[in-house]
Amino acid sequence: MPCVFAPLLVALAEPAAAREPARQALPAAVHEALAQAGLPATAMAVHVQALDAERPHLSWRADEPMNPASLFKLVTTLAALELLGPTHTWQTPVWVTGPLRDGVLSGDVVIQGRGDPTLVPERQWLLLQRLRQWGVREIHGDIVLDRSAFSPQAQLADEFDGEPLRPYNTAADALLLSYRSIVYTFTPDPAAGVARVSAVPRLHGHSVQPTVALSDGACDDWRAALKATAADVRQMRFDGRYPSRCGERIWPLAWSDPPSYDSRTLQAAWTDLGGRLAGSVRDGAAPTVAPSFVVRSRPLGEVVRDINKYSNNVMAQQLFLTLGLQLRGQGTPEAAREVLREWLQATLGNHAATAVIDNGSGLSRRARLCVSHLTSLVQAGWRSGAMPQWLASLPRAGEDGTASRMNAGGARSYLKTGSLRDVTGVAGVVVTQDGRSYAVAAIVNHPQAHRGRGAIEALLRWLNQKRVDQNR
């Protein structure tokens, strides 16, 4: 079934330029960039349409299903903004059970996860600080974690690419603390001949080598040069050296023993707040009575900025499962896919049936979208009541997020990027120098797709210059 569909914009007086037939061939500059990269034109799909027009400005293989990689986050985030609302927050209820006397709790503290993707160390500290304000100093029971809101994830953490220590491979969880990762920071101290190492969060029973010797080597594969013992749950050591030319760098790593992460981080944080835990941190069920207090996340309208600007796969997966939980009562991939499938149908029409929905992040080899799907999605986002939050979540080409190094030829471009081993692409809004706004989507699917970035930039420059020079 083709991906062409009925226009989604409101009826406006169509300018003369919009009545021109769509260009069906790639611009010469794009062809040249593809040739220089050794890529065939058939590896690329492009769709460009003015936001105030009913016909495309440029259409090249626009109906071909392509792997969109992280461009799929555009679907997840716009659907969530429209279905849940920009002010939606995640709630994490906490129960203080048993008698509390003189700061000593003779019972358990129960924390129920509801999918919050923002439980980073600062917010964990706030949660535990609420316990201290409640009057709890010592817990003579356990800290019980209820993570039943999401179904157990069938995938292994390294299923996608065999890299279990990459934070993006962290599995979704109803109670996801700090993405089950540690962020190491290396700060050179040339006078001492070392780089000083800090790690956040601190984990109970795990130590980090405080310094690593400096070297004069080039700052290329500095992570490998450190020779880190990342799989050792007792201590992180660095048997190599850190290149002083690197300056200060950070290195996020997923914890090598995910089942023990929550216990280690909560015990360490509670101790740092002056608390004591006599029991353990374990999984269990939350009480059926009202909670003692609730910790709320930032609004969804803010959270989607982190998801889209920095292409955060784990947060996107949390949001994906939240859609299933909130709208179907089940935090399962199947329920979430059903929600997105119905929303796409309502937003794009019957031709959305050609979309293949795998997960919410685009970290997938199976997901498929057409570039015409994406431009219509952009048009839908443009006219949506959630447009301000959604548009603000997209990286600005040449300025921030994953598009900070992109050359859009002077156009103001709000572009979500997508990349995998065999995928590179962009989709979003381009405002040319003459003030015209376009929905743009371009994807390259090829084993050497990363070489196609130059062709995508050539497309953006062509669009901007073409409008300025009026088809010169």
Q: Which of 13, 5, 24 is nearest to 369 (CA)?
A: 5
Helices (H), 310-332: 313-328
Beta-carbon count within 10 A of 161 CB: 13
Q: Does residue 104 fall inside a structural domain?
A: yes
Instruction: Provide, for the chain, the percentages of residues in helix, strand and coil under a 3-state DSSP scheme, each rounded to the nearest 5.
Output: 35, 25, 40
Residue 91: what pLDDT?
Answer: 98
In contact, 200 and 182? CB cutoff 8 Å: yes
Are both 61 and 130 inside the same structural domain? no
Q: Does residue 66 fall inside a structural domain?
A: yes
Which domain does 415 fall in, by range?
A: 16-87+300-469
The CATH number for 129's domain is 3.50.80.20
Q: Which of 251, 241, 228 is nearest to 188 (CA)?
A: 241
Task: Spell out the per-residue pLDDT of the chain, length 472, in tens.
Answer: 444 322 222 222 233 333 445 677 899 999 999 999 999 999 999 999 999 898 999 999 999 999 999 999 999 999 999 999 999 999 999 999 999 999 999 999 999 999 999 999 999 999 999 999 999 999 999 999 999 999 986 444 556 777 888 888 899 999 999 999 999 999 999 999 999 999 999 999 999 999 999 999 999 999 999 999 999 999 999 999 999 999 999 999 999 999 999 999 999 999 999 999 999 999 999 999 999 999 999 999 999 999 999 999 999 999 999 999 999 999 999 999 999 999 999 999 988 999 999 999 999 999 999 999 999 999 999 999 999 999 999 999 999 999 999 998 888 999 999 999 999 999 999 999 889 999 999 999 999 999 999 999 999 999 998 654 444 4
Cα–Cα distance between 45 and 303 in angstroms, integer?
A: 30
Residue 251: what pLDDT?
Answer: 97
Q: Does residue 368 fall inside a structural domain?
A: yes
At position 298, the amino acid (one-letter code) is R
Instruction: Please give the full DSSP string across 415-453, using - where no structure is assigned.
Output: EEEEEETTEEEEEEEEE-TTS-EEEEEEEEESTTGGGGH
Cα of 358 vs its chain's centroid, Å: 15
Q: Does residue 8 fall inside a structural domain?
A: no
Residue 462, φ and ψ in degrees, nearest 5: -60, -45
Residue 72: what pLDDT?
Answer: 98
End residue of a domain, out of 222, 254, 286: 254
Size (the chain), residues: 472
End residue of a domain, out of 196, 223, 254: 254
Residue 25: what pLDDT?
Answer: 87
Q: Does residue 149 fall inside a structural domain?
A: yes
Place of tokens 């310094």: 211
The CATH number for 399's domain is 3.40.710.10
Contacts of residue 54, defined as CB under 8 A and 6 or more positions apart, other chains included, come to: 7, 9, 14, 18
Are both 141 and 182 inside the same structural domain? no
Residue 351: what pLDDT?
Answer: 82
Are both 356 and 285 inside the same structural domain? no
What are the distances in angstroms from CA 462 to CA 28, 409, 431?
9, 8, 13
Residue 437: what pLDDT?
Answer: 96
Are both 317 and 394 inside the same structural domain? yes
Are both 314 and 328 inside the same structural domain? yes
Q: Which helix (H) or strand (E) holds 235?
A: strand 235-236
Are both 308 and 383 inside the same structural domain? yes
Residue 159: what pLDDT?
Answer: 63
Are both 219 and 150 inside the same structural domain? no
Quick one: tokens of 443?
A: 């994807």
Are both 81 and 126 inside the same structural domain? no
Residue 153: what pLDDT?
Answer: 65
Residue 118 zone, left/alpha/beta (φ > 0; ψ -120 to 50; rest): alpha
- Straight-line distance from the first to the last Cα atom of the chain, in angstroms, rounded to the nearest whole number: 36
Contacts of residue 44, defined as CB under 8 A and 6 or more positions apart, other chains included, come to: 26, 30, 34, 60, 61, 442, 443, 444, 452, 455
Domain total in the chain: 3
Residue 13: what pLDDT?
Answer: 27
Q: Does residue 119 fall inside a structural domain?
A: yes
Cα–Cα distance between 77 and 317 in angstroms, integer?
A: 11
Q: Is 319 helix (H, G, I), strand (E, B) or coil?
A: helix
For residues 343-366, one letter each, b for 16 or more C-beta atoms within 10 angstroms of the residue's C-beta and e for the rest, the string is: bbeebbeebbebbebbbbbbbbee
Q: Is 175 helix (H, G, I), strand (E, B) or coil?
A: coil
Are both 205 and 68 inside the same structural domain? no
Contacts of residue 394, defined as CB under 8 A and 6 or more positions apart, other chains included, come to: 308, 309, 401, 414, 415, 416, 428, 429
CA dihedral over 96, 98, 99, 103, signed as positive or negative:
negative
End residue of a domain, out of 273, 296, 319: 296
CA dihedral over 155, 160, 163, 165, signed as positive or negative:
negative
Residue 21: what pLDDT?
Answer: 53
Are both 339 and 464 inside the same structural domain? yes
Place of tokens 């979500």: 416
Are both 307 and 265 inside the same structural domain? no
Q: Does residue 438 fall inside a structural domain?
A: yes
Q: Does residue 398 fall inside a structural domain?
A: yes
Place of tokens 């290149």: 243
Are both 190 and 210 inside the same structural domain? yes
Place of tokens 């201290």: 132
CA dihedral over 214, 217, 223, 224, signed as positive or negative:
negative
Q: Which of 399, 412, 417 is nearest to 464 (CA)?
A: 412
In contact, 176 and 202? CB cutoff 8 Å: no
